[in-house]
Amino acid sequence: MDKNKFYKNILIDLFKESVKSADPSVVLEKYIPKPPKGRIVVIGAGKASARMAKVFEQIWLKRGYGKLEGIVLTRYGHGEKCKFIEIIEASHPVPDKAGIEGTNKIINLVSNLERKDLLVFLVSGGGSSLMVAPKENINLKEKQNITDSLLRSGASISEINCVRKKLSRVKGGNLAALAYPAKILTLAISDVPGDDPSVIASGPTFPDSNNSQEALEVIKKYKIVCSNNVISLLTSKDKDNLGRSNKIFSNSSYKIIASSQNSLKSSANFIKSKGFKPIILSDSMEGDADTVGIIHGAIAKQIIKYGSPFKPPLCILSGGETTVKVNNLKGRGGRNTQFLLSLAIHLNSEENIYSIACDTDGIDGVESNAGAIIFPDSLKRGLKIGIHARDYLNRNDAYTFFHKLKDLVFTGPTKTNVNDFRALIITKN
């Protein structure tokens, strides 16, 4: 039996199960509201938002609820065809002109809503980049540079979105302010550790607990180069902070319809049916991808050597979002392949361990792969063709390493997004 092929198939099926459990067609139906007395307007932003819009529209029309209208922003290649809701594709993770134009259309659509109307906001990961409306004298180029620098700096998603909120006309509760006094229902697919609504897509319809000083501290911490306009805005008095007590949230509700934890539970049930004890390590693992790889490797070695805290066969599952501090701009890869390469190096060809790490949206970083798989012989196969894992790790070129081994995982856009998915299968000797 080809063990690598056998466990590869299990790992890929395991990942597919995590994605399937977060598909809008599976999770959205029970959250569809009843028709309001006035207009029903559907807007959205994120990599899953177009699929969410299509499912919402199909169920709405099937129930005979009548006409609806709306605009949704999603990433290029993640669109769907809808009858009434306009789907606009834009750039992610660095915003572009299409994102600004689409966001302006959304602003115009929601700004004249009345109390009898209902605004449904379909949001998922990626919404921060797609829904872009810079404040005051800040232009698109400045937003692009700041976003790109933050993404390469190793900053966490909560830190990045803290800055984004303070530079935006729609984030940090400002979209809710524009739609007031209409009733607002936000349906979210969470891609952030801890499922914090204020961090998901930078919380356009949720109270903002951050202030400008915190955003400035993030800029300073990661040495992000900003224009005088940006610094001036962040050092001015925080007059626009929309906290929980603000009246604009009095008629607003927020529901998380899919999350990393729910997907991990589905994956746990799947792997249990294959004879492996599932161990959900965490649904909100954060930190440097290299370090998280070392930690997972240390746990796996403890299990192999001592049978502690559990004896194999078992499967370690984790979710969340790691970060990568980019040292080499020419390197190719994302946080999942970076994690796996670090893990492989730390395991040092340990027998009986197989692992997959993929982004549930189907895109690891800016590459076309979802992630990759490592096997006990990954490092040895690399050496046979003259590639050294440590060299590729140091130059942030994990994609190329796994591409040469033919161990990348390709799914295409999944049109959902509950963040990173990691699994380590540990077999018996």
pLDDT digits (tens, 9 = 90+) for 398-420: 999 999 999 999 999 999 999 99
Assess whether 275 and 234 both reside in one domain: no
Contact (CB, 8 A) for 238 and 208: no
**Closest by Cα among 131, 337, 148, 162 to 234:** 162
Assess whether 251 and 157 both reside in one domain: yes
192-203 per-position pLDDT tens digit: 999 999 999 999
Assess whether 205 and 308 both reside in one domain: no
Assess whether 341 and 418 both reside in one domain: yes
The CATH number of residue 402's host domain is 3.40.1480.10
Assess whether 7 and 107 both reside in one domain: no
Element (H, E) at 306: helix 289-306
279-293 per-position pLDDT tens digit: 999 999 999 999 999
Residue 249 DSSP class:
G
3-state percent breakdown (helix, strand, coil) of the chain, nearest 5: 40, 20, 40
Q: Please give the Cα distance from 30 to 19 (Å, whole number).
A: 19
Q: Please give the Cα distance from 359 to 355 (Å, whole number).
A: 14
Q: Tally the domains of the chain.
A: 2
Query: What domain range is 143 assigned to?
Result: 25-258
Contact (CB, 8 A) for 58 and 72: no
Assess whether 375 and 288 both reside in one domain: yes
The pTM assigned to this predicted structure is 0.94
Contact (CB, 8 A) for 375 and 312: no
Residue 88 DSSP class:
E
242-297 per-position pLDDT tens digit: 888 899 999 999 999 999 999 999 999 999 999 999 999 999 999 999 999 999 99
Assess whether 234 and 346 both reside in one domain: no
